[in-house]
Structure 1
């Protein structure tokens, strides 16, 4: 895809932007350290409810690190330290009173490599709702599993083999199963860390179509190295470089008329 094609794709997606969309998450002056390494440097950003936000930038620029701060996944790394403030509906997610288990139910994560549990398809989806007590009966759980698999565009493919292992599915199906697992607990935000990087083009297209269908039901943030993908699926784009948030705005503006020279250089392939 040429620069002109990339800009055209971004423009075609621009009509989906609502400048009055409600803010779901905010970050203010966020710094992340891994020991002595300063990985994220003073990032401030608003994530709204009605749009897909893409984080782009070269490898090692901090986009995945920052994504992990949004549901406290960095808590699992002993050397990690986060400074600044991140809020969900105005509530500081790093406050001592925040229940991290509940936070991760509200802010779900889909990882780069599909990671279904070594359980049946049904049990993969039912796992979260069971832990959080979201189903009062087997019939309720059946309904949650069916609804989640339908939202993930997977129901018709698996409805007759729900007892089969989730790990026996194709890579694309496994990733959609992981998305179904994430949405089964009714999250408010879905974080996707390069969800298509391990998939073939056909499976990638299905995931991108799914992202379009889910938009508006959840605040969605996707990390991607693929600028064409960012142009196709997102309405807002944030460009990271060396731990800094260089530029953030409407996707069509970022790809057609970036304000920062570093953004322009990256988009036109001069580095990265």
Structure 2
């Protein structure tokens, strides 16, 4: 199936029992966010909440702004000189664009996993230990060993690499490298994990492992995933946001977005009329 074909049928994994849901814990909140690249208005008045209990998927055609908006959540757009962000984005009620915000600490709290696996040219152990070391999270080697082991276990990689922790991280397979990057993000004890098309460079078996990992991490971290693959969004997320031409067209329960969208543009995208 191509990214723009309609799911046939869409399978939405909603495993929760049909009981009243507890109030969700809003972790990040964006209000009236705009992003400009010079004269280009890339994101237009986007407002959205990200909570701890649900995986949130951003979907939409190429160039719609979903990755651009994702990068506003940990100020990755700061690295682009012509980028300008307006509006309000908070993490636990704290303005992340405040001059008082420590951007290094913000990116530890809001980790990013990129489209292409990017392990450091270091050992598997040192890839995971790098963040805790620079943030002073491990007072001794025993504490660091524990952080590395726990992070690799949470990333579903420990059993595959525990006997070769001093091998290069770049020698792992693509799927293993991506899980190593997730372990590296987890190691600094983040609160939010942003994933920008984390499976687009992986084969179906590696993709399935990443999706299983997302399910396992749900509830431990607030998770946002950008994906072109609508079947993947249906499988891994409970909330979905549809972007088009820089606008947030529709945001709601994944099951509703895929089976009963409110907006005609959402329906057209889901059914493959454009993409």
Bin of the TM-score, shorter chain as denominator length: over 0.9
Question: Matches of residues 101-140 of structure 1 in structure 2 within 5 Å?
Answer: 101-140=104-143
* SS across alignment from 2:242: strand
Secondary structure of the residue aligned to 1:237 is: strand
The match for 1:152 is 155
1:199 aligns with 2:199: no
The answer on whether the counterparts of 1:13 and 1:231 sit within 8 Å (CA) in structure 2 is no
Q: Is the 8 A contact 2:7 2:230 kept in 1?
A: no
Q: Deviations over 1:180-201 (max 9, x none)?
A: 0000000000000000000000
SS in 2 for 1:182: helix
Q: Using the TM superposition, give the Cα deviation of residue 5 of structure 1 relative to its aligned residue in structure 2, in angstroms.
A: 1.6
CA distance in 2, matches of 1:250, 1:37: 31
Q: Report the 3-state secondary structure (helix = DSSP H, G, I; strand = E; otherwise coil) of the residue aligned with 1:221.
A: strand
Unpaired runs of 5+ residues, structure 2, are: none
Deviation for aligned residue 1:169: 0.5
Q: Is it true that 1:51 corresponds to 2:45 in the alignment?
A: no
Question: How many residues in Structure 1 have an aligned counterpart in Structure 2?
Answer: 269
Deviation for aligned residue 1:4: 4.8
Q: For structure 1, which runs of at least 5 residues remain unmatched after alignment?
A: none
8 Å Cα contact 1:14-1:235 kept in structure 2: no
Q: Which residue of 1 aligns with 2:256?
A: 253
1:74-113 to structure 2, matched below 5 A, reads 74-113=77-116
**Superposed CA RMSD:** 1.2
* Secondary structure of residue in 2 paired with 1:269: coil
Query: Which residue in 2 is equivalent to 1:212?
Result: 215
8 Å Cα contact 2:113/2:185 also seen in 1: yes
2: CA distance, partners of 1:19 / 1:31: 31
1:48-73: CA deviations, max 9, x gaps?
A: 11110000000000000000000000
Query: Taking structure 2 as the reference length, what is the TM-score of the superposition?
Result: 0.96
Q: Distance in 2 between matches of 1:96 and 1:74?
A: 15
Paired residues of 2:31 and 2:87 also in contact (CA < 8 A): yes
Match 2:9 to one of 5, 8, 11: 5
Cα contact 1:14–1:252 (8 A) shared by 2: no
* Structure number with higher helix proportion: 1
